Amino acid sequence: MSFSEFTKEDYDLIEKEYGLLRESASRRCRDEGELAVVRKAFEFANSAHANVRRRSGEPYMLHPIAVARIVVEDIGLGYKSISAALLHDVVEDTDYSVEDIREAFGPKIASLVEGLTKIKVVLDNEGRNNPGELYSQSVQAENFKRILLTLNDDVRVVLIKLADRLHNCRTIEFMPEHKRDKILSETMFIFIPLAHRLGLYAIKSEMENIWLRYKEPDAYRDICSLLEGKREDKEREIDEFIAPVEKALTAAGFRFEIRKRVKSPYSIWNKMQKKQISFDQVYDLYAIRIIFDPDTSSNENERDQCYHIFSIISGLYRYMPERLRDWVKHPKSNGYEALHCTLLSPKGTWIEVQIRTRRMDDIAEKGIAAHWAYKRSGYISENDSEMEKWLSQVKDILVNPDVGALELLDIIHNDLTGAEIIVFTPKGDQKSIMKGATALDFGYLIHTEIGNKAIAAKVNMKLVPLSYVLSTGDQIEIITAEDQHPKRDWLQFLQTRRARSIVTDYFKNEREQTVAFGRKTLEEQLSSLGYKLDDSRLHSLIQAYNARNADDLCYRIGIGHIKLGNLQDVLKRTTEGTSRRLFSFLFGRDRTKQPGDAPVEVQDLDDRRFVIASCCRPIPGDPVIGFVSQDGKSVTVHKKSCPVAGEIAAKHGDRVVVPAWEIPAEEKSFLVRISLKGIDRVGLLNEISRYISLVMGVNMRKLSLGAEEGIFEGYIDIYVNSRDVLDKMMKKLSLIDGIQSVVRSEI
């Protein structure tokens, strides 16, 4: 922030933006009295922030106005939340106190402002007083715990904070690069999953696209360009697809509207990464949404009317059975209800169709706020308890004194991002459980004693072990024995937080045995990978897993808090990272030198080792992010879009630094993998290897291509000296007859 006298143009701009907010607020406020409170909050904040400017140079007051507009327009909250959004920076950034807000606006608005102030303080000040503390624990994780604790008080605090984060993302171009990386990593790790869980899909999607624009700028520009290039033709095709649908639904007596939408750049990029496919192979780029007003006089309920519409449109076009998603009968845990199907247009394009009632659409767009609004108006749905159930579970985790901040952050992240499946009891009762859960997890879901005394299970009438991984539609019966009790090795396969917590508590008083069991488990895992547990390796693993000491590491392994499924990757990062003098070390300090802007400074930069992260293997030309090690002696460099890097930045934001490639003459090649797929033909392999080796002059380390029934696929590991060379080679390879896709993939 900076200070300079406002001009008439500044005041006019503030009034204009407030006018837009007032227009939105007037549609949400129930009377003039509520609208008057909003006006009073605006005037109070406007006076408090007078002559204060943001980094962009615009009046600071435009930020709280923008946050308030998101609160009312995108989330649908009422006048108290709108007012709190306008006031959310006043206590932290000016001389006013929470007591001043309470006196002027009453206890509820003051409480919301106080919650938002606490969040702002911990996020802005982490590590500022004692940077060394960052290396012994995650200050950032502690701060997120405080943020999530506000769920105990009032969920609206988190909703307003999401609006604040969205607007900060919209204006993130004015941030120095290292702070931008930190904010975007936090956003991806916590705020985006939180928006998803609370049903705020529009906010989630916009934040994802901003993340992609800065983390993978080339991919973002390419995808946007490809979408724009096809827009006109596809608009015409979709209009032709919609016309018969409109005619048929009108004839059937439905009152409805149809909206067109294009898959977001981030969701396209994410699908390309996960499925290792090219843009042309993403077939569900386009969608339409049918939103209808249910006929209350009909014998059909909302759900049946959704199915009726599906039967009409699937009579017009062929649909893909495996892509049918029924979230009307089985709503998502965040309250989302809709029927999704994918239909084939007359021109051969697959188009997703989403069928929703007006109520379902409101909840899909505004999430929990719309859910509460319908509940207050008397509408009760089968899924009414799901959101409250999740919030109750989160509160239970937050108040557990045995859950550390880092562990909490992982639990919440996994809970927010985890998918769910539907399974059934022996009597046919439906239960939701996380994807990947085992039969024993299901036992603990039903009752603690059923889990504790479980010895086996029957899934679909077939006897299976307790570690059996469940699938959607399974019917499960747990077999118990009176003399059975929890076993430590259950922690190696249990997946749900509830089950793991119960078993962990059972063994909590047997620490010495647990440490011994954890050490034995670690030694066995290392031995299976060809390593011994010596002091050097133990020290590296203590750092890698953020443990306090060897006993703490082994204890956490013993109770299952640390799983060793990623041990090989951890060992690679700690013992096989390639140290190279490839980078200069940039702090990216903003010229205005705002407090807390600069990352942790470490002396003797020329003596620092730079380690290329083995999880993502960045090459010159990739957008990269660096992290100072716990001992301060090295900087590990990742691709900005690397999930591992995102998690580290979300937990340890003040370790973020900005490396820049400086390639010495002796460092000329970097190992990357490209995956190929296409139609097999005679001489294809020879043509591929000839182009790579002879035309491009690139060395191949490994080639693994196979063909079956006329289709070939596989990968090639090659050495290149820059991303430009890699991109050029991939583009040329994609033009070879028979090759359908060429993508960069992880080794």
Q: Mind telling me the catalytic residues?
A: 92-93
Two tokens at 627? 């992290």
Bridge partners of 475, per DSSP, are 424
Are 196 and 204 in contact by the 8 Å Cβ rule? The answer is yes
Distance CA 275, CA 316 (A): 30
Distance CA 57, CA 4 (A): 9
Are 479 and 461 in contact by the 8 Å Cβ rule? The answer is no
- How many residues comprise the chain? 747
Are 635 and 628 in contact by the 8 Å Cβ rule? The answer is yes
Q: Could you tell me which of 325, 202, 322 has the C-alpha nearest to residue 266?
A: 202
Furthest CA-CA distance within the chain: 82
The tokens 């993403």 sit on which residue? 282
Encode 29-60: b = buried (16+ Cβ within 10 Å), e = exposed: beeeebbebbbebbebbbebbbebbebeebbb
The tokens 């080792």 sit on which residue? 609
H helices present in 172-295, as ranges: 177-186, 192-197, 201-215, 217-251, 265-275
Encode 414-443: b = buried (16+ Cβ within 10 Å), e = exposed: ebbebebbebeeeeeeeeebbeebbbbbbb
Distance CA 354, CA 287 (A): 8
The tokens 């015409």 sit on which residue? 236
Distance CA 77, CA 151 (A): 16
Task: Give 638-645's long-range contacts (Cβ < 8 A, gap of 24+).
Answer: 638/613, 639/613, 640/181, 640/214, 640/215, 640/216, 641/212, 641/215, 641/216, 641/616, 642/613, 642/615, 642/616, 642/618, 644/613, 644/615, 644/616, 645/185, 645/613, 645/616
Residue type, 414: N
Q: Residue 586: phi, psi to the nearest 5?
A: -105, 135
**Cα-based torsion angle of the residue sequence 21, 23, 26, 28 in order, rounded to the nearest 10 degrees:** -70
Sign of CA dihedral 87, 93, 98, 101: negative
Two tokens at 336? 């989302």
CA distances from residue 165 to 210, 322, 511, 598 in whole angstroms, order as listed:
12, 37, 42, 20
Are 62 and 88 in contact by the 8 Å Cβ rule? The answer is no
The tokens 């019966």 sit on which residue? 477
Residue type, 707: A
Sign of CA dihedral 334, 211, 614, 531: negative
Angle of helix 217-251 relative to helix 265-275, nearest 10 degrees? 110
